[in-house]
């Protein structure tokens, strides 16, 4: 291994990574730096390169070019079992004939860790993952959440510098997914772990991550904190992939602080956009919850469809031929509109432009 000079706070660095399968560029010149103790999610549609990238870090795929650097050391020539990484696969890959204890112990036996240290490590990781009561059970005797914790414990006992999680919650029901997200987050905080979390679930990524990397067609679209990714997407792909959104094309009248769309047939007041010229053509991103139903608004529409989501109501509204999505929080005294009704919509004055 060679020593690499990097930014002071860089712990895991992916530098100009490329990986192709035939003519398909699964990873296309990806570079990102991750800090120690940071939980970063890779998200994107199927085939975007997120799992390939994770497998490159873990040594299960060899990149065509580029470098993987952990704690200032180039690990490209190391096989998976010698890398300072631990990977939890989507299907957990537990040994069905072994008990929980034996599954966790397996990697330590491969590394020929002495008996005393082995017992201490296993005892510690069983406590951290709350598995002490299940050491004699086999995977088939465990719930999905318990199996997932065994897979994580099997990695943690090897004391990796980077924990790699490949859609580890995809086989769990909604309530258990939420609980396990909190457990992973707490483990990361308690152990100061650096974690790479691959998921196709945008809500999951936003709720668990310190930062999010949005991928498409093997390339990074945006990197940032969850609230930045959600509120200030860099392009239309990120805006549409991360949450629901309204993409509206129009132009600004800076003199009168008005935004026009639908060929000027619809307008609403806005804050003067910085760096824009009068009557510039602008594409704006408006999240459904930023819009308000207001019967007194001059912008009128017809309710096309109503979707009840429990904590909020989603309205699909036709405004002069344009579909607008509005989310309204479910309040005890709210008015529930139905299809065919005419309602008004208030737009936010501060807009995000892409």
**What pLDDT, on the 0 to 100 scale, is given for residue 6?**
45
* Domain spans, the chain: 12-241, 246-353
Contact 153, 131 (CB under 8 A): yes
Q: Give me 109's structure tokens.
A: 């036996």
DSSP letters for 13-65:
EEEEEEEEETTEEEEEEEEEEE-TT-EEEEE-STTSSHHHHHHHHHTSS--SE
**Residue 175 pLDDT:** 80
12-241 and 246-353 share one fold: no
**pLDDT given for residue 5 in this prediction:** 40
CA distance 341 to 139: 54
User: What pLDDT, on the 0 to 100 scale, is given for residue 98?
Assistant: 94
Give the pLDDT of residue 332. Answer: 83
Residue with token string 């059970």: 137
- Tell me which CATH homologous superfamily contains domain 246-353: Nucleic acid-binding proteins (2.40.50.140)
Q: What element of type H or E holds 293?
A: strand 292-293
Assessment of whether the complete model's pTM goes beyond 0.75: yes
* Type and span of the H or E element at 197: strand 194-199
**What is the model's pLDDT at position 10?**
83
Low-confidence ranges of the chain (pLDDT < 50): 1-6
12-241, which class in CATH? Answer: alpha beta
């Amino acid at each position: 291994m060679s020593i690499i000079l990097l930014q002071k706070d860089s712990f895991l660095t992916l530098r100009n990574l490329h990986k192709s399968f035939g003519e398909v560029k699964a990873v296309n010149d990806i570079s990102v730096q991750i800090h120690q103790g940071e939980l970063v999610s890779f998200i994107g549609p199927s085939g975007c390169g997120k799992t390939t990238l994770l497998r490159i870090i873990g040594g299960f795929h060899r990149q065509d070019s580029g470098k993987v650097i952990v704690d200032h050391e180039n690990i490209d020539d190391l096989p998976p079992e010698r890398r300072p990484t631990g990977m939890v696969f989507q299907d957990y890959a537990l040994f069905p004939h072994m008990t929980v204890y034996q599954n966790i112990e397996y990697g330590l036996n491969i590394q020929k860790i002495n008996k005393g240290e082995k017992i201490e490590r296993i005892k510690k990781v069983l406590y951290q993952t709350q598995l002490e009561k299940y050491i004699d059970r086999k995977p088939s005797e465990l719930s999905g959440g318990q199996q997932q914790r065994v897979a994580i414990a099997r990695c943690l006992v090897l004391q990796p510098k980077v924990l790699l999680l490949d859609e580890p919650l995809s086989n769990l029901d909604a309530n258990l997914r939420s609980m396990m997200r909190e457990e992973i987050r707490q483990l990361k905080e308690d152990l100061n772990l650096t974690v790479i979390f691959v998921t196709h679930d945008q809500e999951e990524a936003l709720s668990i991550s310190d930062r999010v990397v949005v991928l498409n067609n093997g390339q990074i679209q945006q990197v940032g904190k969850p609230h930045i990714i959600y509120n200030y997407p860099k392009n239309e792909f990120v805006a549409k992939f991360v949450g629901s959104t309204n993409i509206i094309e129009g132009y600004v009248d800076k003199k009168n602080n008005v935004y026009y769309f639908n060929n000027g047939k619809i307008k609403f007041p806005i804050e003067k956009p910085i760096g824009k010229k009068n009557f510039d053509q602008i594409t704006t991103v408006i999240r459904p919850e930023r819009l308000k139903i207001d019967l007194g608004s001059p912008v009128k529409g017809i309710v096309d469809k109503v979707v009840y989501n429990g904590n909020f109501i989603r309205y699909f509204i036709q405004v002069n031929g344009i579909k607008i999505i509005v989310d309204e929080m479910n309040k005890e005294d709210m008015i529930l509109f139905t299809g065919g009704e005419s309602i008004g919509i208030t737009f936010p004055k501060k807009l995000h432009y892409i």
